[in-house]
Structure 1
Amino acid sequence: MSADFWAGYISGAVGILIGNPLDLIKVRLQARDAISAPTTSTFVRQFESKSSLITGTAAPVVGYGALNALLFVSYNRSEAAFNSALGLSPNLWTTWFAGAIGGLATWIVSAPTELIKCRAQLASPPVSSWIIARDVLRREGVRGLYFGGVVTALRDSIGYGFYFWSYELSSKWVESRRQDSAFTQDATKVLLCGGLAGIVTWASIFPLDLIKTRVQTQAFGPAAAPLLESYGAQPGRLGAIEITSKTYREEGLRVFFRGLTVCSIRAFFVNAVQWAAYEWIMLELGHGRGKDKQAA
């Protein structure tokens, strides 16, 4: 396996473990339809037990590690191919497009991972990720795991384009102001640029993420109840466009940014640590920044 595969896998798994508590709040805020605005006590109840801190982590730790590995491998290879084919030196345009291709490539992992994770986080009483996955497979087959896959793919493609673009942009800005690039001296820069990249990414695709959450967590059976109560046990579940129209009509434009503050806080810390882990592992494997991104 390539260095960027393992660096991506490990950093992705670390990011999930760190960010899950705030991700739990984000998903519950997004999925809350006709429920009253959150209060302090509501936030406290998000963590009604110790186990709630890791609710829904099983699927993402396994899935997101693979997703992150696929993302970085696809991004690095796509960027190298773009620059080689067009005879360009690395630039922010090819960085964005390579990131978008990398994000699109993760769809095969991200769609089922997100569906299982979100349903596990909303299930009451708590249901494990494995039970939800088994239930979906039994009821709907493999196709059921990819429900909401189109909006997930769109979210990932746009989001990861901005993810790598903003990381490279902020890195270039910081690097232009100092000469020493040793990792021990560079750790603060990596943490800062990684955190900023996380915020920019989520700000760029948050409405899509809310739509994805509501599409994937529509009530589908007792194993995941209550989920989105207002959508109820409808004969046919709504698609992304129908969910968007229904949400805007009933709750207005502001709902598409519900949970963005919590998500931004989570994104900064998770992506700061995730990028630091990735860069450190790549450095240890002999492929630090400034070396060929085509890690062997």
Structure 2
Amino acid sequence: MSKTVKDLAAGTAGGIAQVLVGQPFDIVKVRMQTSAKGTYKGMMDCAGGILKNEGPLAFYKGTLTPLLGIGVCVSIQFAALEWTKRYFTNQNRLNGKGGAEGNILSGDQLFAAGVFAGLSNGVVSGPVEHIRIRLQTQSNTNPLYAGPWDAIKKIASNHGIAGIYKGQAVTLLREASGYGVYFLTYEKIVQWEMEKKGIRRDQINPMNAALYGATAGYALWAVIYPIDMIKSRMQTDGFTPSTGQRYTSTLDCVRKVWRTEGIGAFTRGLGPTLIRSPFANGATFLGFEMANRLLNPT
């Protein structure tokens, strides 16, 4: 089995773990991000309303799309990351850098690898998250879409591929900036432990991998949350003026949100994200590292 195929498999394991752990928090975040100001008093009010009005299964509404899609996204993300790390390792060997084996990558190299991973992932994550958000925010009593496949068919039929990729520009901005910081943070902490203890990567305690993933997750959201909020607004907006379109572009969305709702709108829904982040990102890296060890026994 090639290294890339193994990276894809290990990334899929991480992605599935991420969705199963993080989905209930994500729906609360999206509802708060896309609701009118004053709709919810806070995170608990939003979560309580979902539970009361829609039942406990509502917290996993739209899960099929991310379970399949995010699994693919994270597998692509990790495969792109590991490929880029191997490329930089080879460059380091040729240039006599990065230690005896060239595998001690610099911060710039790790950030660049993360940016490449984010952009590679964004091609798939944009439409996946778009469909998920449409399902998460539609009416429970009079839903427009029967499920993810119905949503894809209806949107593609009425608005073409551009409709499926609505909000893609801001998605790519989020993925590039966020994953650059995300993987830089994780990999630097892993490097630190390996150097401090004189151990191999596969000798790191799995719980430490989860802890480092949680830390990387906080670094990710510290950078991207306002961008993510704009992405959610763009992906729940109408497709045309006749279907309730409020924003003509990403910049138009930023200006209108700032003018009408103030700076607080850019951090609305941050609470459930901060609670979700350590569990979802810890699970992602734990799933990836453990799958990697199984696929690459020493």
- With structure 1 as the length reference, what TM-score do the two structures score? 0.87
Tell me if the contact between 1:174 and 1:189 (Cα under 8 Å) persists in the aligned partners.
no
One of 155, 161, 165 as aligned partner of 1:142: 161
Structure 2 equivalent of residue 227 of structure 1 = none
Q: Provide, for residues 234-284 of structure 1, a one-character-per-residue CA deviation record: whole Å limited to 9, x for no partner.
A: 467521100000000011112111122211221110111111111011111
Tell me if the contact between 1:193 and 1:272 (Cα under 8 Å) persists in the aligned partners.
yes
Of 232-241 and 117-126, the range deviating more from structure 2: 232-241
Identity %: 28
Indicate the SS of the match to 1:171: helix
Tell me if the contact between 2:10 and 2:75 (Cα under 8 Å) persists in the aligned partners.
yes
What letter matches 1:31 in structure 2?
T
What letter matches 2:192 in structure 1?
W
What letter matches 1:249 in structure 2?
R
**Residues 103/41 of structure 1: CA separation in 2 closer, same or farther (3 Å cut):** closer
Indicate the SS of the match to 1:124: coil
After TM superposition, where is structure 1 displaced by more than 6 Å over at least 4 residues in a row? none
Tell me if the contact between 1:31 and 1:213 (Cα under 8 Å) persists in the aligned partners.
yes
Structure 2 equivalent of residue 3 of structure 1 = 6
Tell me if the contact between 2:40 and 2:46 (Cα under 8 Å) persists in the aligned partners.
no
**Residues 182/146 of structure 1: CA separation in 2 closer, same or farther (3 Å cut):** closer
Shift of 1:42: 3.2
One of 257, 260, 276 as aligned partner of 1:247: 257
Instruction: Please state if 1:42 is matched with 2:46.
Output: yes
Instruction: Please state if 1:51 is matched with 2:52.
Output: no
One of 113, 133, 149 as aligned partner of 1:98: 113
Shift of 1:168: 1.3
Matches of 1:45 and 1:151, distance apart in 2: 30
Shift of 1:41: 3.7
Gaps of 5+ in 2: 99-104
Q: Provide, for residues 42-93 of structure 1, a one-character-per-residue CA deviation record: whole Å limited to 9, x for no partner.
A: 3201233132021111111111111111111111112222343463421221
Gaps of 5+ in 1: 222-230, 289-296
Structure 1 equivalent of residue 208 of structure 2 = 189
Aligned length: 279
Shift of 1:138: 1.4
Of 114-123 and 53-62, the range deviating more from structure 2: 53-62
Matches of 2:221 and 2:118, distance apart in 1: 13
- Richer in helix (by share): 2
Instruction: Please state if 1:66 is matched with 2:72.
Output: yes
Matches of 1:237 and 1:183, distance apart in 2: 48
Shift of 1:108: 1.7
Shift of 1:176: 4.3
Indicate the SS of the match to 1:106: helix
Tell me if the contact between 1:203 and 1:260 (Cα under 8 Å) persists in the aligned partners.
no
Indicate the SS of the match to 1:207: helix
Q: Summarize the alignment of residues 119-138 of structure 1 with structure 2, pairs less than 5 Å apart.
A: 119-125=134-140, 126=143, 127=145, 128-138=147-157
